[in-house]
Structure 1
């Protein structure tokens, strides 16, 4: 069967692309190996989907070329997606930091995108295994699938990344890029918890569940949010954010008192008989965290027992706690994949491969990784819209 456009992947980017292309009068086939639509949308945001961020900017994305996403984000903004939601009467709210969530259920987004595809006469087929993709002498793409053979002048790859394999993530998109001669940047789990080395894991194991408001930094990149201790290491928004910038062997620096002058605070207690672990309660620290952290730094003493040199050393550690992670919790716990099809290979205005006319890559499969908080969904909507306008 022949179509104008075949879209592989019925997730956020793929459904957006298919509906926009169909609205242009293109005959579109949307394929997915899964039986259910857009599982990643369904499970996101605790079932309410953090579907965009009103503060979206190009510098909220990690890539070998962070400027690449400028064009797509300008062509389809958070306000455009919000207008689509409002047209369907979907209620939403801002939780914090520009993050928008559905009031009710993420299923509303899936139903909306499905309705858009149906209105655009998109031929959607689920549970289809793609066995081979090739290109014939006329330049058309030919797909041999479990549901038959299909061909089209345009092929859009919206297969996602490697994150959350339990809902069906595969490397198909990267394999197709390689097959057609496109380079793929190094891949890694992103927006993912970090793990401790054995010594730190044992030292802080009892702190699982403790959460603190901190600033976490790698180089010049810093995030101010909560960090959460787990049985294996560190998680929470601040850690998930910084994980997108972390590489193995690299330290992260945690400011445990971002709103305090630690040296001045310690100086005020220089004559105190009170143990520092107890005094730290004034700073909002849970006692068990204060005891474990100070014990690890041989500093769970009375304020009067610290010399000026020791106060300065402890203040430095409080503002610059250096942690060397052992690794991450991997793709199973990662929200997205860092890296992907190189942006050097694609047109930022159309998402088409520069060297392969008619071949498009969109969404997570591309080397564009957003911050936590709706940025990755916005990239899916924007890149899908742009490809849909041009495929």
Structure 2
């Protein structure tokens, strides 16, 4: 059994992406900085990729810079804004990705900034009233709040935040790593200063990402050496990654509605199967159970602890890939789960889907989970165990 349900961590390359990048692995391998014809052909591919990404997001090509991934872009946006505008205050949340939290922690330790954490409700939603109070007390600040949470899937109203940022002359960075290619983002609809994306989250290659820098901003380079990316990022471009990123994003936008519908149905199907599984005490973290308030491909489930080990480990042993964190064995829940009003003695499992997953796979997954609990001597159930076949 090989079932992959960890698509929030990374995704498989799409067939159209593989087709698009093959020539740049074989024939078109020149350096785009070279003046000869072979180099110019590759540079044209980079320029076309930039125009594709910009057009899909409602940006201009000069606002898109290619990076090695979202983590680099996050560092560039946060460090660049703090330095360029001599900012000494940042507003963020306790459930941001570690690339955000650790970067801000570094600057706080260096004495560059003070960090305020916006209040969250028990499901991890940003308290916009508290955010406005923080902005009122700290004019000309940097806001760093993600669009879609990587663990619990919560969607944040980035348009509302951009309005507040404008009102209080703040700079707004949003991490869109989990939403690019899954939620339609139009930069013409709101005033966002910086955002980032990573190709491998939407069926593109690893090691390729981008940062959007609103044209009103000018940041110092994070990487020096060469004039690539209009002087913003030195180093020979990852042509395969850039071409693959643009194609993956184009495919994602072209098929967005159909993919969203398929993945939403997968999430609902898994919820319905778990509801009749007979396992007592299942609950859902954050807004992940909601189709409207979360990224469609993420479902974060709290399971009662086993006496015989971890669900994640046991599923892995039979070829089912999921992710999660457990407080059951003293390992501690993730910083995201700790920030929510969740039961402490649970194992939290993130199932994350893609358009390539099937309903039959989810049947096998629930069947496997049922058998894991059925074999655990300390787990009580509310009703007799039922086989997958009897649920049809």
Task: Report if TM-score (shorter chain) is over 0.5.
Answer: no
TM-score range, shorter chain: under 0.3
- Indicate the structure whose relative CO is greater, using CA pairs within 8 Å and at least 6 residues apart: 1
Question: What's the TM-score, normalizing by structure 2?
Answer: 0.27
More strand by share: 1
Question: What's the TM-score, normalizing by structure 1?
Answer: 0.27
Rg bigger for which structure? 1
